Copies of this chain bind each other. A is one copy, B any other.
């Protein structure tokens, strides 16, 4: 037994891709070796519970603590008695919207990986078609929710009861643009183009025509032009108008990884060294963002199955046009490892604990 102060975690949604990665990360987290996460079964699966973790994720068999873990039925009182500190929700957004008030009412802090609590502007949130049992309470919680981007909101995250873990596309774009916008370098009249490409795990585990191998393999397709639901996160977090940012996602024929190519014009000519400094300073204390030396550019392979976001850029010879490349593993820095990073901050630990 180690002599760390114990933290008790629980996870709902372990059967999905992000939930599976999350349990893997928690199992090997050095602060949690004595307190493996409690795994919450889905209410609709109650008759089948308990379900062993390794039957859902056979590749975890034989890892420390994994073989005995089970998804079980649960109730909020019991979680309270078990002294659960932090509940991770890797559940559909409707489910998250329903459970967050209940968890908080029982004194359990929540890191929600869905889109349910990310958007403060009701107009943006409308794409999720959320229905709240207690709209007044929900709006209070919404106001309290902290957008879980540790490189931007670390102090608020540390104190938060409710973390809205960012969307995967949004993570890759916000980390690339926030430094440049804060430095006020961009000419926004022409808008920023964000051409993003994601692997198939981003589409979730439910079989569908889109995720069928025959559709996804040897193919590339754009979708949700002018209408992807991560757009609201970009507008709110970057403080931009619809006219100032154009985000188009594409479905890549790979399992994991996002690469976002971003095009922008600068207010006035810059040198590559100046741009490099802006990124370096912004991420000086960010252990999970790696800024590459221009003209080197990151690729998806650099980050797949890692917890990093890699950034790189190139500048036109006249110093007026900038292309930035951002890559993440959509299931890790775009979901599960960013959630663990938030947990670390909430627990007062180093933000990269268990992630390097």
Contact = CB atoms under 8 A, between A and B. Distances in A.
Contacts of A320: 243
Contact of A197 (B197, B207, B256): B197
Interface in A191-213: 191, 193, 195, 197, 200-201, 205, 207-209, 211-213
A89 B92 CA distance: 40
B261 A222 contact: yes
Nearest to A307: B62
A21 to B, nearest CB: 12
A214 B219 CA distance: 15
A284 interface: no
A51 B325 CA distance: 25
Contacts of A190: 189-191, 265
B299 A221 contact: yes
Contacts of A288: 62
Contacts of A252: 220, 252-253
Interface in A63-91: 63-64
Interface string A285-313: 00110101000011111111110100000
Contacts of A121: none
B213 A212 contact: yes
Contact of A255 (B213, B225, B299): B213
A254 interface: yes
A173 to B, nearest CB: 14
B253 A356 contact: no
Contacts of A208: 207
A214 B314 contact: no
A214 B59 CA distance: 14
A257 interface: yes
Interface centre among A17, A195, A288 (most CB of B within 10 A): A195
Q: Taking the full assembly, how many copies of this chain does it contain?
A: 4
Contact of A301 (B218, B305, B317): B218
A99 interface: no
A124 to B, nearest CB: 15
Given A191-B190, A218-B257, A62 B207 contact: no
Interface centre among A225, A226, A304 (most CB of B within 10 A): A225
Nearest to A252: B220
A105 interface: no
B193 A263 contact: yes
Contacts of A304: 59, 218
A265 B246 CA distance: 11
Given A205-B212, A212-B213, A301-B219, A225 B257 contact: no
A220 B255 contact: no
B356 A220 contact: no
A143 to B, nearest CB: 29
A191 B304 CA distance: 33
Contacts of A193: 193, 195, 263
A135 interface: no
Contacts of A127: none
A323 interface: yes
Contact of A212 (B212, B287, B308, B321): B212
Contact of A213 (B200, B257, B265, B290): B200
Given A226-B323, A263-B193, A299 B219 contact: yes
